[in-house]
Amino acid sequence: MENIQKMKLLDLFSGIGGFHLGLEQAGFKFDWVGYSEIDRFANRQYKKRFPKAQELGDVTTIQPRELPKDITILCGGFPCQAFSIAGKRQGFDDTRGTLFFEIARILRYFREIGKPIPYFILENVKGLLNHDNGRTFATIYGVLTNLDYTIECQLLNTRWFLPQNRERIYIVGHFRGESRRKVFP
């Protein structure tokens, strides 16, 4: 990445800060972090772990024009209940299932003002891949590619790293297909 000291992170659906912590452990340094999470207990933990981070509130109320114009990475584990085999699998018919479009709204804003966010990392449950015979994932993929992002996806199992068995889809994007190394093997 360009100047590692001037990076900005927008952490949506942040939980207690797993993406933020992982990126820092990978060596990324941020001079600004904004985060959005509606769970008050997760917010309290995030603020304790990252006291300099700016709490942005509910993702649906974020006004992109009020954010820094040079955000480097957007990350988020958008709500999975609408796609999970453990839930009712209502997809976009479930309000939580539509929250992905808040990510798209923010990415679109920055693209339209000529300051696209160069990178994003998204995470969700394995069920997102086959929900509605794959149409849900195709919609998400299409929205992101229509915003001029090149997408890589990989299904990863946490058992490879942790003492648990949780399969998750990771979606990594970079703006305009700029030549980069592959993220996933």
What amino acid positions are annotated as catalytic residues? 80
- β strands within 71-185, DSSP E: 73-76, 119-125, 149-157, 167-175
Residues 6 or more apart in contact with residue 175 via CB below 8 angstroms: 111, 116, 117, 118, 119, 148, 149, 150
Q: Could you give the CA distance from residue 105 to residue 58 in angstroms, rounded to a whole number?
A: 14
**Which residue from 67, 136, 135 is spatially nearest to 107, judged by alpha carbons?**
67
Determine contact, residues 73/27, Cβ cutoff 8 Å.
no
Distance of CA 146 to the CA centre of its chain: 17
